[in-house]
Amino acid sequence: MEMIWPASLLLLGALPLLLALYLWQLRRRRRYAVRYSSLTLLREAIIPGSRWLRHLPFALFLAALAALVVAMARPVAVVQVPTNQTAIILAIDISRSMCATDIPPNRLAAAEAAALQFIQRQPAGTRIGVVAFAGFAQLVQAPTTDLAALEAAIDGLTTGRGTAIGTGILESLDAIAALNTGVAPSVRDLDAAPPVEPRPPGAYAPEVIVLLTDGVTTTGTPPLEAARQASERGVRVYTIGFGTAGGGPFDCGGQFGGGQFGGGQFGGGQFGGFRRGIDEETLVQVAQLTDGEYFAASSAGELQEVFANLPITYTTVRETTEVSAGFAAAGAILALCAVGLALLRSPLP
């Protein structure tokens, strides 16, 4: 716990002086106390424990003063509070294996449809961004609440060569860092990386990453290194493995001009049953490192269900809150108890 006005705590030094004054007053009273002829009668008249009870009001009074002094110092505490102001980065794999038709019309089209439904179901005010990654990663749409802009970004996705899952995570972190100053940007040059103070366990940023892929990393930053950076920043990553075990022929809708991918080399001959294995082990580890979760989907319906059940509606964030009111209330209650006990022992005439 930190104090906004720590100098006020110097007033606590008066408490030992008050205690010394109280003890001196007790000794002074004893000097002028009435002497009884029979100490036995005196001992019998004393209620067991009353020797300590008669000091309780003063003890409560000191505790009340201490609480009020701490309140004057304006203590602040870092607490976990719920928030629904979540920003979501959709990191979507656009490698050419997403043209596989094992999930009709192809994996990319099915992923786009599920992503659009997910976007449309989010509460008003939820900011969503889109990162596309193949051999490299690019922020296609910065986090926004503009549904038209998001739909245009999803509809405009086209496939490319390679799969850089780790780079997609880092690009998503940078999009979050531009939105939330409490999240440090990603580090690409690890040798020159400044240290990042890890967040305490259970402390999360209100932004999350939802990463969808159908393959294995072939280039770019290793996914586990990217996950480590996300974990240090309190950003959870939910990973989705999309595709069937058997794969299928490619159909990219003519976006490659019907040549290399249009039905020739990859159209149905040697690679007609192309199978691209999903690196589920790495996706699970990425999710575990960031306190996210891994999901598998082998059909368009399953993917839509995964998107519908992502546990990202509510999260908690760490906020610095002043708690002086609590100490002030405690001090007032203790003071009232001290006065009440004093009156019970020595009622006013």
pLDDT at position 263: 33
pLDDT at position 192: 65
Instruction: Find out whether 242 and 303 touch, Cβ atoms under 8 Å.
Output: yes
* Band of residue 169 on the pLDDT scale cut at 50, 70, 90: very high
What is the signed CA dihedral for 279, 285, 286, 292, rounded to 10 degrees? 120
Count of alpha carbons within 13 Å of 189, Cβ hemisphere only? 3
**Domains observed in the chain:** 2-76+323-345 (no CATH), 85-313 (3.40.50.410)
Residue range 103-129, pLDDT digits in tens: 999 999 999 999 999 999 988 888 999
**H-run or E-run covering 193:** none
pLDDT at position 247: 79
* Band of residue 329 on the pLDDT scale cut at 50, 70, 90: very high
- The whole-chain average pLDDT of the chain stands at 82
pLDDT at position 346: 67
Higher pLDDT residue, 35 or 20?
20
- % of the chain exceeding 70 in pLDDT: 77
Residues 130 and 167: their CA atoms lie apart, in Å, by 14
Residue range 297-316, pLDDT digits in tens: 999 999 999 999 998 755 55
Residue 176 has pLDDT above 60, yes or no: yes
Instruction: Find out whether 229 and 186 touch, Cβ atoms under 8 Å.
Output: yes
Query: Can you tell me the mean pLDDT for 279-293?
Result: 95
Give the range among 24-28, 121-125, 209-213 with minimum mean pLDDT.
24-28
pLDDT at position 154: 96
Nearest to 139 by CA among 90, 194, 102: 90
Residue 80 has pLDDT above 70, yes or no: no
Instruction: Find out whether 69 and 324 touch, Cβ atoms under 8 Å.
Output: no
- Parallel, antiparallel, or unpaired for β 87-93 and 75-83? unpaired
pLDDT at position 273: 37
Residue range 48-79, pLDDT digits in tens: 545 667 778 888 888 989 989 898 888 887 66
Cα-Cα end-to-end distance for the chain: 46
Residues 214 and 296: their CA atoms lie apart, in Å, by 10
H runs (alpha helix) in the chain: 14-31, 39-45, 50-53, 56-72, 107-121, 147-155, 165-179, 223-232, 280-289, 300-308, 324-345
Give the range among 96-105, 185-194, 236-245 with minimum mean pLDDT.
185-194
Q: How many beta carbons lie within 10 A of that of residue 25, not counting itself? A: 10
- The single-letter code of the amino acid at 134 is A
Give the range among 222-231, 241-250, 313-322 with minimum mean pLDDT.
313-322
Residue range 254-270, pLDDT digits in tens: 554 333 333 333 333 33
pLDDT at position 78: 67
Residues 162 and 136: their CA atoms lie apart, in Å, by 8
What are the CA-CA distances from residue 56 to residues 25, 45, 47, 220, 333 (Å)? Answer: 16, 20, 15, 69, 14
Burial 147-172 (b: 16+ CB within 10 A, else e): eeebbebbeebebbebbbbbbbbbbb
3-state helix, strand, coil in the chain (%, to 5): 45, 20, 40
pLDDT at position 257: 37
Cα-Cα-Cα-Cα dihedral sign, residues 93, 99, 103, 104 = positive
Higher pLDDT residue, 264 or 25?
25
